[in-house]
Amino acid sequence: MSLYGVTKNSKFANKIKNLANSEANAVMMYNSLAQISKEQGYSELSDEFRKMANQGAVRAGFYATLNGNYSKNFWELIIQLQEGEEYGAKLIEKISEGLREDGITDAADIMKFFAKQGRNNSNILKKFIEKYKPAENKVTITQKSNIVYRCPACGYKYFGDINFEYDDYVCPICGQQKNMFESV
């Protein structure tokens, strides 16, 4: 039995949504605490905070699955993630360069590493698509609509008129609000 979307439109949907958002915020907090504790010489605490962040990420993903937050079209989502990783890597690298120009070199070095991770993730996803994507799914999502909006934070592409979405629609990848999307 699939758990995808079992709480969507149920009396539990808002509670599950709140749990997912809470866990996603906790992931950021625990990772921030891990960075701060590492900088202050508490390596053991840093390691534990990273574990807590990873556990929270798993819970957030589970809750998102229960509410059907992401497209059930597996390959469509993988393609979007691959494109988003590539877009994000370019954006992060540009920010890294700006930080370096402003003399914030330690942060710039870490951001450059994050850009490299994003490119690596993009390449891994490309390999998955090439190796596993079924032939019957050869039509890409970019061929389905002439109207395209892009999330400015992660590069996610929304195909169709985003204005038909509910006001509380957010990017399924990064949570950016729909009013921030840009027409492409």
The CA distance from 111 to 108, in Å, is 5
Enclosing H/E stretch for 64: helix 43-66
Q: Is 61 exposed, middle or buried (0-12, 13-18, 19+ CB in 10 A)?
A: middle
How many residues does the structure list for the chain? 184
Query: pLDDT truncated to tens, each residue of the chain (184 aa)?
Result: 899 999 999 999 999 999 999 999 999 999 999 999 999 999 999 999 999 999 999 999 999 999 998 878 889 889 989 999 999 999 999 999 999 999 999 999 999 999 999 999 999 999 999 999 887 644 454 445 688 999 898 888 888 889 888 888 888 888 889 999 999 8
Q: At 159, phi and psi to the nearest 5?
A: -100, 120
Handedness of CA 93, 95, 101, 102 (dihedral sign): negative
The domain defined by 145-184 folds into Rubrerythrin, domain 2 (2.20.28)
Are 170 and 176 in contact, with CB atoms under 8 Å apart?
yes
The CA distance from 14 to 5, in Å, is 13
